[in-house]
Chain A
Amino acid sequence: MNTDCRRFQESYSDADMSDELKRHGESCESCQEFVLRQNALQQILPGWKTPEISSDFALDVMSRIAEDGERRRSPLELLKEMFNLRFSIPLPIGALAGILFLVSVLMNVFFWASNDSTSNFDPSRLASNPNAPAVDIIPTIIQGANVMHTSDFNSESVKGFMSATQGMPGAGLFLLVPIVEPNLPMTSIEKTNNQETENKQEI
């Protein structure tokens, strides 16, 4: 089979076969043989019948689609969907707000208590007086845990702010701002411990 024969036979079904190929088909013996055999083949092909599809096929498909939809809405997936739709955005925001609120309340109480007791707080007061106010306990706890004490903030503006916002829940949140302020002197935990030791010695 030469190239023309191949081109003709491959394009045999094309409606837009070129004239050149048509001429080749008319003159080529092997291509005419192909056409004859192909025509014979085309005649018997419809003899291969296919069985009819079952009458309730569409119904089966639609019920499977419905089942599929229900299966997709299993309790776990429903929960996931609910989470995705209702909680994916509000939950982190709510959690963040909650954390910020807690931090602000703690800081407020922390500064309020330390302003009252100043840095001369004596833990022995707690031992001698079990009915001491709760605010007195907080610096003790903080001191025991080696957390930075209020007296480490040597800024007058912070102290002024503390006295102005005393007892206002959430006001301590604004005290987060000085932490990122570069000019605000902040001492280390070691310095805190040293100062506490000095204070005790003075007493």
Chain B
Amino acid sequence: MIEEWVEQCRKGQSRAFAHVVREMQQRIYCFLYRMTQNREQAEDLAQETFLRAYRQLANYDCKKAAFSTWLFTLARNLCLDEFRRRKPTQTTLEEAVNLEAASGFTPFCAANDNEVERRIAQAVDSLDTPFREVFVLYEYEDLPLEQISVVVGRPVGTVKSRLHRARLQLQEKLSSVLYA
């Protein structure tokens, strides 16, 4: 269905793009939110993604990838640009532990849903971007490995390897939650 709307847009019916936006907005927003962990920033980036998609619609080749894959690629590139521009300060593992202690986190607190959510978000955020993007795309956006490989522009083997390392790191970082 999306492909049909995209085709209509390419023929000049710009209103059909509204259907594309409605169909894909939540997925793109969720991906960007999980990457940035900032609601406003994710929404701004999502808007920019759709705007860029509309402008570059002529460059989209349906033979190379699905439209959703192409859209995720645009969103991912915009997100990386944003990271580069803002140059976020990286938290070392030691700092993260100290922050955790300061926040009064205990396994008991993990029983709380919000706390689990916060812990997962924190753990995913602590992953390096190449691991985080692969993990989010696979585990939360249900993209197959082949499509993720297109989005991140790396071979499937590299994607598998990154996903594995992300999982190992998360298992370790969330061990207190996993065995609570």
Residues of A that sit less than 8 Å from B by CB: 6, 9-14, 34, 37-38, 40-42, 44-45, 47-54, 57-58, 60-62, 64-65, 68-69
Report which of A11, A44, A53 forms a contact with B26, defined as CB distance below 8 A: A53
B10 at the interface (CB under 8 A from A): no
* Interface locus among B17-25, B58-66, B86-94, B99-107: B17-25
Chain B residues with Cβ below 8 Å from A51 are: 33, 39
| Beta-carbon nearest neighbor of B31 in chain A | A50
Main secondary structure of the interface of A (DSSP, over half): helix
Judge whether A68 and B33 touch: CB under 8 Å: no
A13 vs chain B, min Cβ distance (A): 7
Main secondary structure of the interface of B (DSSP, over half): helix
Q: List 9 A-B contacts (CB under 8 A).
A: A10-B161, A42-B139, A48-B140, A51-B39, A52-B26, A57-B25, A57-B43, A57-B46, A62-B21
| Beta-carbon nearest neighbor of A42 in chain B | B139
Give the distance in Å from the alpha carbon of A41 to the alpha carbon of B179 in the complex: 10
Give the distance in Å from the alpha carbon of A45 to the alpha carbon of B26 in the complex: 18
Give the distance in Å from the alpha carbon of A198 to the alpha carbon of B165 in the complex: 101
B14 at the interface (CB under 8 A from A): yes
| Beta-carbon nearest neighbor of B164 in chain A | A10
Judge whether B21 and A47 touch: CB under 8 Å: no
Judge whether B163 and A47 touch: CB under 8 Å: no
Give the distance in Å from the alpha carbon of A37 to the alpha carbon of B175 in the complex: 8
Judge whether A45 and B139 touch: CB under 8 Å: yes
B70 at the interface (CB under 8 A from A): no
